[in-house]
Structure formats: C-alpha cells, structure tokens
Structure 1
C-alpha cells in the first residue's frame, strides 16, 4: 500500500510539474507588444515613406520585415486627443479631449449643465475612472511600461502609473526643453513614476535607454512597452546642443537638418529596441508598431499630402504606420486598409486576450486578421472635428471619399485619384457628398450623448 501511495504521489507530482511548465510556456509564448509613437512626424520623413535626407535604417527595417500602411490616420490633428484615443481605445470626444492641453487650449469644467472656464492650465487630465488599455493588459498578466511624453495630465492624480503602467519615465507636458526638462514657464516635467527627478541628458537618449532596460527586465514575461517620444515636437533641439535653453520666443526656431537629427535619434532607439529584443530571444514574438500622433509640422515633409498638423486636411491627420510581427504578419506588405490610432488599442488587446468593459467597447477594430489575409478589407467611416474659436473644421472619410468643411466651405475629394486634395468633386457627386455629411452628423450626435466632466478644445 505504501509503495502504491508513493507511485500515485509521484505521478501527481509529475503531472503538476508538466502542467506548470505548460503554463509557463504559454505565458512566455504570448506576444509582447512595443508601440513607438513619434510626435509631429511627417508622412514622408523616413526612408520607407520616401525620405532622402533623413537616415532611418531601423524604422525602414520595420517596413521591410512587416506591413506598411498607406492610409493610416491619427485620432486627431494634435497631441493630447490622439494619445487619449489610444490609451482608452475610444473616440477622445467621449472623455472631453478635442484639442491638446497647454497654454493655447480652451478648457472648461462642467458645473451642472453649464461650462465654466478652467483657470488652472495644468488642472485637467485623464480621469482615473476611465478604463484604459494598460489596465486591461495588466489584468491579462502583462508587465506594462511607458517611457516618454505623457501629455494627459501633469498632476499626480493623472500620472501614467494611475492608469495601468507599472513603470513610467518621461516628461508629463507637451513640449519641454529636451535638456532642462522644463516648460518655458519653469514648470518641471520629468518624472520617474510619480517622483520628480533630476537627470542630465538629452531626452530622446534617456527614453531610449529606459525603454531598452524595460525589455531587458521583462523579457521572460509578456510585456507591453509604450514609447511616446517628445521628438520631433518643438522645441527644435538636436542632440549635442543644449544651448540656448528654450524660451517662449525661441521655441519654434529650427531648420530641416535639426529636425532630421532629431528623427535619427528616434530611429537609433528603434534599433536599440530591436537589438535588445533579439538578444533576449523574443524579437519574432513581439508585435512592434511605429506611428505618429498627428501630421508633421514646420520642418517636416508631408508630401504628397496637403497641409500639416492642426488641420483636418490629409497632412494633418494621415500618418505613417508600420507593423512587424513575423508570427502573424507577412513581410514587405503594403496595405491601403484604412486604419486609425485607436485600432491599435483594439489590436493589442485582442492579441493579449484582454477585453474592454462591456459598457465601454472599443471604437477601433482589430487590424491583424485583415493584415494577415484572414479577413477581407473593411470600408471604414472615420470622423474628425476641430471646434475652436480660431478654427472650425470637420471631416469624414468613407471608402475613397473624404468630405471636409473648413470654416463655411464644404468640399469632397476622391483620395484614390487625388491624394493631395486639389480637386473638389462635390458638384459631380451630390449623392456621395450628402451621404458623408449624414455620416458626420450621426457621429456628432453620438458624441453629443456623452456627458463629459470637462472639455478641452
């Protein structure tokens, strides 16, 4: 009897060990996720999209070994709302962000049924009551880290570590000095977690190193790494030139070579991450994505698109997007599937086995089945809006068609034949014109049903 009991116990121990090892293998085999978000990155500012004067071999590798989008969009034409759209996976209007927080923002708090101007320039931020992608990934067993520009609230209550990130390092504001890490009014923006820290160095270098450290630390478990660079947003400060420090007067001083040097530092970081992922043996089990939060600005190249950041013309909202994941995605594929930033949230959650709250479903879609040719391409309806004192614009894209209202002028473009938006064809296509206006009106009506507690526009 004792012998039989020993045999049974040994078998149970062997089964337990096998199950444990299988569980460990399953955990390790779940894909890692890396998302590099460049700020104000022009549509044609890397080699994969046609740049001749900026060297981006590592970014170009993502295109060569993965999928390149031709028709990918930012959630908004400026920083904060796009970042909100990504972190929540939903239209940023559902939260209250329609414009970037900062000195130029028109900010309000709700008092009953009235909007009261917000007097504290740093008073608003993404409420912790809002479900976020990193919280979902945490719940799914992922280690989560964010390194870079947050721009969803300066106060501690809005810190990234309050929104599902295990680790954070970076600048909380929109455009701090790359060397002093202060806003031009003296507000200090650099944080390690919630702690203000004094660290010397060029911000892009600091972000690159911390991101690589995160990969090294968490290579044996599934992880989500978010790298939202401040570059190439103003101030235009290249590596190796800490002076002059940034002032309100010189913030926008720069030129194309300075911009190029800043982009190349971001590319260097992409190379560092790829090398570390490979060193840790997890490169091909990692979905690596790179995009921009809006169109390029002053020294960028958005060709062949028209206009730039802060507008709803294609140059303000159409952005580069590259995805590499050999386990699921083909190499060297170019897709014209229309995508948007918040699609990345739905995509990341899907591959991680994470799900949004039932009452707050994602507004984006999982792109992977389409890109992997497991599902037919989808015709999308995407909408944007700028509702500011100085600028009134609305636009909607459906299929190849784009409607734009710029102030009191309404136009229709066929983007397949007119990517530069030069030929208004609204009079030749009245049915399409009316249909897109109806789609936009329906989207605005849906957004109006959201009772937000604040409004930044």
Structure 2
C-alpha cells in the first residue's frame, strides 16, 4: 500500500510539473529594410517617431551591439535565415536576382540560397510550428528557391528585393519577381499601401493560428527605396525635407504596422507566450533614402559599424525581463538557436550553425560573451571583431584598427599603435576564411567601386541633428 501511495504522488508530481511547463511560444520576427540605426525613438531619435517599437523595446531587452552578417540585403538575410555565415555556402557578394546580369534571365534564375541549406522555417516546422513569410523574400526568384519550398507553410509577398509600395497598374511592365504573390504563383496586386497590407495579412495569419504555435517572419520593404509614403501621412514631419521627410513617414507607417500586429497578439491573449524580435537587415544607405546611422560611421554596403550594427529587440513577457539592455555583442546568427531553444528543441544538437542560444545570457544564467569573435567578408574587403577590437581590411589601403569600447564611431585608427594586434587579427580572419567556399556570384566592378566610395564618403558619423 505504501508503495502504491508513493507511486501516486510521483505521478501527481509529474502531472503538476507538466502543467507548469509553458506551451511553445509563438514567435514573430519583425524585420525592417534599410532603416537607419539612429532613426528609432529607442535609439534616441528626435526626428523620427516610432512609439510602438519604443513600447516593444520597453517590454523586453534591447540588444545594444546587435549585428548582421552582411552589409547588404540579400547576404544579410541569407546569414540570418540559415544560421550560418553565408560565405560558408558561397552567398557572399551580391543581392539576388543578379544586379550584374540585367539581360541574363538564365543567370538570375541560378542565383539564390542553395537548396541543400536548411532554413529558419525548416527548424521551426520540425518543432511543430506553422510558419509564414510576409513581404520581401530576396533569397532567389526561381521556383526551387520559393519560400513554400524552403520551410514556410504560407507566403504573401514578392520574391525579389524591392518594389513599389503601391499596386502596379500593369504588372507585366515590371519584373515578375516583384509581383505580389500569395502562396505559389498566385499573382495579384494588392490594394492600398503595402506596409499596411503586410500588417493585415500577418494579423489574419495570427488569428487563424491562435490555437497552435506559429512563426511569422514579417519582412517589411520599408524604408527601402522607392521613396513612397502612405498618403495618410502626407502632412507629417513638416520640419523635415526631401527624402528625409519621406523616410520618416515610411518609418511611421512601419511602426504603426508593428503596433497593429502587437495589438492583435494582445487582443487574442497571446502576449505572455509570444516572443517578438525586431531588427533590420543592414545599415541605412543615407544618400539613397535619407536615413541616419547616428552615432555610427558608415552606411549600407560598408563594414563600418553603421553598415553592420543594427537595432535589436527581443521581447517575451512570460520568460524575459522588461526594460533591460544587453550590451555584449550578438548577431542575427543567434536567432535560430534561440528560437529552437524557446520552442523546446535542443540547439546544441543542431549541426553547422554559427550562432548560439541567447536565452541563458539574457536571463543571467550564463556569464561572459556569446561571441568573442565575429567576422564579415565581401570579396577582398573584410572585418573581424575580437573582444572590443575591430580590424577593417581593405583592398586598396592599409588596414584600420579600432577599440569599439572607447570609439564605437571608429574615428581613431590605432593600427600604427598596435601592429602586433593587427597581425594577430589578420591571422584569425585568414583562418576563418580558409573555412569558406568560393563565392557563387561575382560582384560587378562598378558595384565594388561604389561600395569603396561610400566607405570613404561616410567615414564620419552624421550629426545628431541630421
């Protein structure tokens, strides 16, 4: 009898423990396009207004040194969605479809994230998640690269890298990869302003899947060119001019869309068990869309901090503290291991990934830095961050060395002061490069020159009043 009673209490305890185990959290990844580092209220902007994202930042943890793996849209997304440095599988140098081959449809179709690489959606599908992409895909336009064949159950957006925010009157006059598509090859242009439409579609997906774990990758094309604002915002930001004013209006509409998605999660009672991440694909281009990367130097397509350091917010009320800042370097490579861990999987069992599970660090369960060393590479240009030291390698000038702890704006080159450290970092970066594949797509010479020019012209950070 005593044994039966003891077994009863063991079973009862197991049931209680099971009841205390939280359900798999829903995961929402809100992702901006070409936004300026300094153009968010939670980063101190006095010109742009982002009240909903500011609220999201207050509800969770702001990652103050959050990086992307590439300084342009496609490579950056390839690294995030694969969890690997994109150079490991040759996706290094350019966006797809090919800017180098405007007359070669055949070559364009060959360009994309290799199909043997597992992607973020695949990992979450394995854990029982319903997965969806809304907006910009940019991982290849051929059918074999389509989101529905790369780990996502639903897709509403466009396969390419940029398009109008308004419906095309005659889609046949523009490239097919920029047509709006629902599912697979169901093409139909949207009604209204695209940023709003993406929010509506995301909310409908959340409503349909409220009783099951879901993952929504909301890939806004704001504030990427073309510079087109929502007509309802035409009278806002009268103190700004030109593209800077339009960018502020586009950011306002994207912030409002994020707020709409967050409101939907709240109304369905899902907020406590929904992890929401916000970030951006690369630094703002500044001269293209009026963005500002203050207080960082550099722009999109450069490996200065302004090209690769991006906003980062992770909010999960049921599991992470609110109104906090995490200061150690982190990177979009970390999202897949973190999502897998949150969903009940074992990130340590995932092979080939370059990121780490951030949850123990964010909860204070693990000390130290998630990464001691991070790398960036685009053809002969390269960068390495080791601790707080960062080395920039150029093809046409001496390397530069910066102490980011004291000089995050990269204004004081210390290469001549620490030649031994320059050699050490060169060796570490070379060793990493030996692990990589050859690039699958070669960069146009003109594009390389354009990037080098930008690295020079935008060396000094913009002023705060820009």
Q: Which residue of structure 2 aligns with residue 351 of structure 1?
A: 342
Q: Deviations over 1:138-165 (max 9, x none)?
A: 1111111110100001122111010111
Is 1:44–2:38 an aligned residue pair?
A: yes
Change (3 A) 1:357 1:138: farther
**Matched residue count:** 414
How far apart, in 2, do the equivalents of 1:346 and 1:184 lie? 42
Secondary structure of the corresponding residue to residue 291 of structure 1 = strand
Is 1:328–2:319 an aligned residue pair?
A: yes
* 1:424, distance to aligned residue in structure 2 (A): 0.7
Report matched runs for 1:100-139 at 5 Å: 100-102=94-96, 105-106=99-100, 120-139=107-126
How far apart, in 2, do the equivalents of 1:22 and 1:166 lie? 32
Is 1:261–2:249 an aligned residue pair?
A: yes
Report matched runs for 1:10-409 at 5 Å: 29-102=23-96, 105-106=99-100, 120-180=107-167, 185-187=174-176, 188-194=178-184, 195-240=186-231, 255-298=243-286, 299-354=290-345, 360-378=351-369, 379-387=371-379, 392-407=380-395, 408-409=397-398
How far apart, in 2, do the equivalents of 1:357 and 1:426 lie? 37
* 1:227, distance to aligned residue in structure 2 (A): 0.6
Change (3 A) 1:338 1:320: same
* 1:384, distance to aligned residue in structure 2 (A): 0.7
Secondary structure of the corresponding residue to residue 399 of structure 2 = strand
* 1:131, distance to aligned residue in structure 2 (A): 1.3
Q: Which residue of structure 2 aligns with residue 7 of structure 1?
A: none
Secondary structure of the corresponding residue to residue 148 of structure 1 = strand
TM-score by length of 1: 0.84
How far apart, in 1, do the equivalents of 2:198 and 2:40 lie? 20
Higher strand share: 1
Q: Deviations over 1:58-115 (max 9, x none)?
A: 10012111111111111100011111111111111122211332476458xxxxxxxx
Secondary structure of the corresponding residue to residue 434 of structure 2 = helix
Secondary structure of the corresponding residue to residue 289 of structure 1 = strand
Moved more, 97-106 or 286-295: 97-106
Q: Alignment RMSD, CA only?
A: 2.7
How far apart, in 2, do the equivalents of 1:435 and 1:56 lie? 42
Q: Deviations over 1:267-324 (max 9, x none)?
A: 1111111111111111011111000110011211101100100111111101110111
Show structure 1 runs of 5+ residues with no match. 1-14, 108-116, 243-252
Q: Deviations over 1:402-423 (max 9, x none)?
A: 0001233201000111111111
How far apart, in 2, do the equivalents of 1:79 and 1:169 lie? 19
How far apart, in 2, do the equivalents of 1:96 and 1:217 lie? 38
Secondary structure of the corresponding residue to residue 423 of structure 1 = coil
Q: Which residue of structure 2 aligns with residue 114 of structure 1?
A: none
8 Å CA contact 1:97, 1:456 repeated in 2: no
Q: Which residue of structure 1 aligns with residue 464 of structure 2?
A: none
How far apart, in 2, do the equivalents of 1:383 and 1:22 lie? 42
How far apart, in 1, do the equivalents of 2:274 and 2:119 lie? 21
Q: Which runs of 4 or more aligned residues in structure 1 lie more than 4 Å from their structure 2 counterparts after TM superposition? A: 25-28, 181-185, 355-359
How far apart, in 1, do the equivalents of 2:173 and 2:57 lie? 37
